[in-house]
């Protein structure tokens, strides 16, 4: 296998027609190069989408009320109803698979007039009443201070956690906001924390950095919401599908608020786990398509090498006849032809793979840092295992490409090969 004379002969054979050898090798080079580029691009697209989700709980479901569409128990259609505090207790007591439950209230927003004031500065921000569990479902990076805690809920404290953009608008640069007061719709609240979101693609109501969180119970009391709950965020316990929680919660809430069991439109809901599973399936399909297209392109190059090897065998028919006549065995002839094919295929493919990986690495290094929810392409890369798989495909392809020409070379009798014109 490592006979120096054999490899010199192989190199001499391939070097006789440099243009033909180069063009043939280019087919394999281009096939593996395109496979690497497509795989890297696919991973960049996937990373961009999943990065935007951050640490958001993918086993979560969200539920809110909508007007009824079916009359039920003497109540008319198009009836508006609201969830309430008693629903919180009912959900926790009746759904064993429920893990986290985060009721929420919301008010204000970017489209309203300025609702938050501090000294001579003001702004229109999204205001939320939350439980501490919300920060486990949609985690944040706390830059200063802390998030809402249970004591805040129990004591109905007038405290808030503000987004980074809120801090930048209402406070001077490098000013410590902790312990300072801001006025929300005429009521003063003390700032206990500043945050940035861990994810950017999952938004509920507006830019998270322009949001303010206060204790849920405080918002109910301070702004006269009574016992109203705007909507619920829920997650399932490990080992359970969140769709089970979703079905049980919808059934329970329909019963508690006298909504017809068949009224599917009266309970608004969004199952993130289902959407995440569909997205995962989409990327799996994209990855499979990339392999099909890339392997097909690579196969076209391998077929080209096989055809050229047939031409080379035909040109060297007399030479092969002489080798057979002086004692060369069929296995030696086959080994030499396959070695030529493997050398050509592997060399061209390896160069294509390296160039493809270098291009992906160059793109990765020159991409701007992720900024906001519009980042759809991030950190393209090629898995080392995938590169090894591609290299294995190259070696096998080289053997297959040389096998047919090699069998043809030894199928002719030495005397007929010597007479070949």
pLDDT at 226: 93
- Tens of pLDDT along the chain (421 residues)? 455 655 666 666 666 777 777 887 888 888 888 888 988 888 888 877 776 666 788 899 999 999 999 999 999 999 999 999 999 999 999 999 999 999 999 876 444 567 899 989 999 999 999 999 999 999 999 999 999 999 999 999 999 999 999 999 999 999 999 999 999 999 999 999 999 988 766 766 678 899 999 999 999 999 999 999 999 999 999 999 999 999 999 999 999 999 999 998 999 999 988 888 888 888 888 888 888 888 787 788 778 877 777 777 776 666 667 776 777 677 777 777 787 788 888 888 889 889 999 999 998 888 876 655 556 777 888 888 887 787 788 778 778 877 777 777 667 666 655 555 5
Predicted pLDDT of residue 364: 87
Q: Are the CB atoms for 380 and 358 separated by under 8 Å?
A: no
In the 3-class helix/strand/coil scheme, how is the chain assigned residue by residue? CCCHHHHHHHHHHHHCCHHHHHHHHHHHHHHHHHHHHHHHHHHHHHHHHHHCCCCCCCCEEEEEECCCCCCECCECCCCCCCEEHHHHHHHHHHCCCEEEEEEEEEEECCCCCCCEEECCEEECCEEEEECCCHHHHCCEEEEEECCCCHHHHHHCCCEEEEEHHHHHHHCCCCCCCCCCEEEECCEEEEEEEEEEECCCCCCCCCCHHHEEEEEHHHHHHHCCCCCEECEEEEEECCCCCHHHHHHHHHHHHHHHCCCCCCCCCCEEEEEHHHHHHHHHHHHHHHHHHHHHHHHHHHHHHHHHHHHHHHHHHHHCHHHHHHHHHCCCCHHHHHHHHHHHHHHHHHHHHHHHHHHHHHHHHHHHHHCCCCCHHHCCCCCCCCCHHHHHHHHHHHHHHHHHHHHHHHHHHHHCCHHHHHHCC
Instruction: Report yes or no: 338 and 13 within 8 Å, Cβ to Cβ.
Output: no
The count of C-alpha atoms lying within 13 angstroms of the C-alpha of 220, restricted to the half-sphere facing its C-beta, is 19
Q: Cβ contacts of residue 28 below 8 Å, gap of 6+?
A: 298, 301, 302, 304, 305, 344, 345, 348, 349, 352, 394, 397
Every domain of the chain and the residues it spans: 4-54+277-419, 82-256
Residue 222 and residue 219: Cα distance in Å, rounded? 5
* pLDDT of 4: 63
Angle at 130 between CA 129 and CA 132, to 5 degrees: 155
pLDDT for the residue 110 = 47
pLDDT recorded at residue 111: 47
pTM: 0.71
- The confidence score (pLDDT) of residue 156 equals 96
Predicted pLDDT at 418: 54
């Amino acid at each position: 296998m490592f006979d120096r004379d054999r490899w010199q002969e192989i190199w001499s054979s391939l070097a006789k027609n440099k243009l033909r050898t180069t063009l043939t090798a280019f087919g394999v080079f281009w096939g593996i190069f395109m496979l690497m580029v497509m795989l890297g691009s696919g991973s960049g697209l996937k990373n961009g989408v999943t990065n935007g989700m951050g640490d958001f709980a993918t086993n979560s479901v969200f539920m809110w009320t909508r007007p009824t569409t079916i009359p039920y128990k003497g109540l008319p259609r198009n009836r508006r109803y609201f969830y309430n505090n008693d629903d919180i207790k009912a959900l926790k007591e009746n759904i064993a698979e429920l893990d986290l439950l985060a009721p929420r209230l919301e008010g204000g927003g970017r489209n309203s007039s300025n609702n938050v004031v501090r000294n001579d500065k003001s702004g229109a921000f999204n205001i939320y009443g939350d439980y501490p569990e919300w920060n486990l479902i949609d985690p944040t990076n706390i830059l200063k201070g802390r998030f809402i805690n249970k004591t805040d809920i129990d004591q109905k404290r007038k405290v808030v956690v503000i987004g980074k953009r809120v801090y930048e608008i209402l406070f001077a640069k490098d000013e410590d906001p902790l312990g300072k007061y801001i006025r929300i719709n005429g009521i003063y609240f003390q700032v206990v924390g500043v945050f940035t979101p861990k994810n950017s693609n999952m938004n509920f109501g507006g830019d998270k950095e322009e949001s303010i969180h206060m204790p849920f119970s405080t918002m109910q009391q301070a702004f006269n919401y009574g016992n109203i709950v705007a909507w619920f965020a829920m997650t399932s316990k490990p080992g359970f599908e969140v769709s089970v929680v979703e079905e049980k919660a919808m059934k329970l809430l329909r019963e508690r608020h006298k909504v017809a069991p068949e009224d599917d439109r009266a309970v608004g809901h969004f199952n993130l786990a289902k959407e995440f599973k569909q997205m995962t399936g989409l990327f799996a399909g994209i990855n499979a398509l990339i392999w099909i297209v890339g392997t097909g392109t690579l196969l076209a190059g391998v077929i080209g090498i096989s055809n050229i090897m047939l031409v080379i065998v035909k040109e060297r028919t007399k030479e092969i006849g002489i080798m057979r006549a002086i004692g060369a065995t069929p296995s030696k002839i086959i080994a030499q032809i396959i070695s030529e094919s493997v050398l050509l295929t592997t060399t061209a493919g390896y160069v294509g793979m390296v160039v493809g990986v270098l291009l992906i690495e160059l793109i990765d290094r020159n991409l701007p840092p992720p900024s906001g929810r519009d980042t759809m392409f991030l950190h393209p890369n090629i898995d080392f295992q995938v590169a090894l798989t591609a290299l294995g495909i190259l070696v096998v392809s080289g053997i297959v490409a040389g096998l047919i020409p090699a069998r043809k070379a030894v199928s002719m009798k030495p005397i007929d090969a010597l007479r070949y014109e």
